[in-house]
Structures are given as structure tokens and as C-alpha cells.
Amino acid sequence: MKKLKYILGGILCISTVFFYISCSKDGDENNTTESNSGKTFLKLKISGTVINGDFDIIEEEIPEDESIIIGHIYYEESTEGTQKVASLFFTQLFGMEGERNFEMVIPAEKGAKEIGTQFPNPAPANGEPIYYMEIDLKETDYALYDSDNDGDNDANNLLRAKTMGVTITEIGETYNALGILTLSHIKGSFQGTGFLTAYTGPTTAPQELEHTITGSFEYYIPNE
């Protein structure tokens, strides 16, 4: 579990660099959308075997230094040709208590799309699905059987979307000062199932623990 957190943290750090580049010039002549005029938020509800509750990340309610919210648009080669994708990262930091992370990669277009481990295509050369959702919560947000008695939750993976319907109702893009395409606005909702794998007792093999996941989101590229 800790290793997975470090991996996600590294992704977020790299994404932050691109985020600052994408916002490096206000009023770019190539900008095709208006400036930030709305609210950025993630509303997330999870219910299931071990995780239950609302885990919202609402930008205006969190101090600036306690959140990382990033959006991108880019192209990725896959088994089904070139895919134009949008990615969203929502992170809320809680100091020594840890952090909550939400990551979603979806088609960069309006409409409905099924994503998750039950929908493996399209995929890049490494075989992992291009479109996915992963959620990593604070360890104090839920409790699991501690198989190695180290005081940590012993999940074998992040909470991953299994069968998730995502609907995009609004999406906008712009070009930054370097001429790089980036996400300016996106709005949508999702509903489906997810799972994590963990030990549930001293004599059982790791079990797949299924959860229902619903939510809505909206993102605006920040102003300078």
C-alpha cells in the first residue's frame, strides 16, 4: 500500500510541473476558452465492505497549500489507434495523517464511456487500460485486517474502478504559451463499482472487496 502511494505521489509531482507550464501565460492568443468562471470540485460517495462515506474535495473549501488539483489533455497510442484523453487528479493533503487521492483518465469528448478493469481496451503496448479510475484514501478513513501487524491497512491495491459509467457533459481545451494543448474545463458524473483486494482474516487468502462508487466533478484551469 505504501509503495502504491509513493508511485501516485510521483505522478502528481510530475503532473504539477506540467500544470505550472500550462498556466504560465495569461491571455494567450491561442486560448480558445474564457477564463475560470466556475468552481472546481469532486463529490465522491463510496459504500461497500470496508469503505463508507462521502469524500468530497472542493477547491474553495480547502487552503491552497492543502490541495493539488490538475487537469490535462494529451494523445496516447493504443491497440485501437491514437486516443485523445483527459486526465484529472484531485488530492487533499492532511499533514501527518496522509492524503486522499483521486485519479481518472477518460476520453476527451462529451458523452458516456464505460471504464474499469472489466473494459480493458483500448490499451497501450504495456497492456494496462488507458481509461481508468483509482482512489487512495487516508488510512484512518477505513479499517482492514492487519495481516502483518505493522499498524497499517493491508490493502493489496488502490480502490480501482471495475465497471464505471462516466458521462462528460462539458469539456473545453486551450493552448498554453508553449503551444501545448491542455484542459481548460470539464464537467461530468460517474456511477459504478470498484474494488480493492485485502486480507480479511488470519486464515483466508486476499479477498476482492467490492464497493459502489458515485460522484460528480467539475474542473476549471486556474487563472494566473
Residue range 162-213, pLDDT digits in tens: 999 999 999 999 998 889 999 999 999 999 999 988 777 777 788 889 999 9
Q: How many CB atoms are located within 10 Å of the residue 112 CB?
A: 12
**pLDDT of 163:** 96
Q: What is the mean pLDDT of residues 144-166?
A: 73
Tell me, what amino acid is at 109?
E
What's the mean per-residue pLDDT of the chain?
81
Q: Please report the pLDDT score of residue 33 as a whole number.
A: 42
Quick one: DSSP state of residue 51? -
pLDDT at 8: 45
Which range, 4-8, 13-17, 42-46, is most confident?
42-46
Q: Is 142 in contact with 196 (CB distance < 8 Å)?
A: no
Q: What is the pLDDT of residue 7?
A: 39
Average pLDDT over residues 96-125: 90
Cβ–Cβ < 8 Å for 64, 40: no
Q: C-alpha distances in angstroms, 106 versus 50, 115, 164?
A: 27, 8, 11
Note the pLDDT of residue 128.
79
